[in-house]
Amino acid sequence: MNFIEERIVKDGIIKSGNVLKVDSFLNHQMDINLMEEIGREFKRRFSDVCVSKVMTIEASGIGIAAFVAKEFGVPLVFAKKSKSINVDGEMFVAEVESFTHKNKNQVIVSKKFLHEGEHILIIDDFLANGCALQGLISIAESAGAKVEGCGIVIEKGFQIGGRVIRNMGYRVESLAIIDAMDAEAGTIDFRAQD
């Protein structure tokens, strides 16, 4: 098991509805040493690509993506959730359905912070059905930026997102891929990775 898998087994809580809670170390209370290790690991995995900006979506991606951006020495921009339908022309906009809250949000990034020709690394905490990633990819591409890859801390491999995004031709690197989890038994099966 790698360091993320070990931590999930130690501190993750499996909830009904295919939800894994990792709020004691990843997305509510944050273990900063773990964040640093995550940043270093994504730097290692994406060391072959040119990255000019890291991109994520609020709120839970921000802390993780900050450590990745620090490793690459580039800025981080995050998509903001906006309820308003009247976003002005200065924003790139995408619609994203939230897996955890089951509602739809418009997410926006100011045109000031995303430009044609940029090389984007997208980072998020979870990959489930892939809506968040699809929204971020669509925003990056409408700016004329190139998505170099997507770095995910925990991919739920039994949901469709990973397959959808990889089939679209994007590189997805997930630190842990869960193939199955059982809330009653409290068991988690990880996919073997090299």
Residues of this chain that interact with ligand 5GP (CB under 6 A) are 19-22, 27, 60, 99-100, 124-132, 161
- Shortest Å distance, C-beta 44 to ligand 5GP: 23
- Shortest Å distance, C-beta 154 to ligand 5GP: 7
SS (H, E, C) the chain: CCHHHHHHHHHCEEECCCEEECCCCCCCCCCHHHHHHHHHHHHHHCCCCCCCEEEEECCHHHHHHHHHHHHHCCCEEEEEEECCCCCCCCEEEEEEECCCCCCEEEEEEEHHHCCCCCEEEEEEEEECCCHHHHHHHHHHHHCCCEEEEEEEEEEECCCCHHHHHHHCCCCEEEEEEEEEEECCCCEEEECCCC
For ligand 5GP, the closer of residues 22 and 55 by Cβ is 22
- Shortest Å distance, C-beta 45 to ligand 5GP: 19
For ligand 5GP, the closer of residues 20 and 145 by Cβ is 20
For ligand 5GP, the closer of residues 51 and 127 by Cβ is 127
For ligand 5GP, the closer of residues 19 and 111 by Cβ is 19
For ligand 5GP, the closer of residues 15 and 115 by Cβ is 15
- Shortest Å distance, C-beta 116 to ligand 5GP: 26
Spatial contact of 184 and 190, defined as CB atoms under 8 Å apart: no
Q: What CA–CA distance (Å, rounded) separates 162 from 69?
A: 23
- Tell me whether the omega of the peptide bond preceding residue 65 falls within 30 degrees of 0, making it cis: no
Beta bridge partners of 119: 146
- Shortest Å distance, C-beta 88 to ligand 5GP: 26
For ligand 5GP, the closer of residues 4 and 128 by Cβ is 128
- Shortest Å distance, C-beta 89 to ligand 5GP: 26
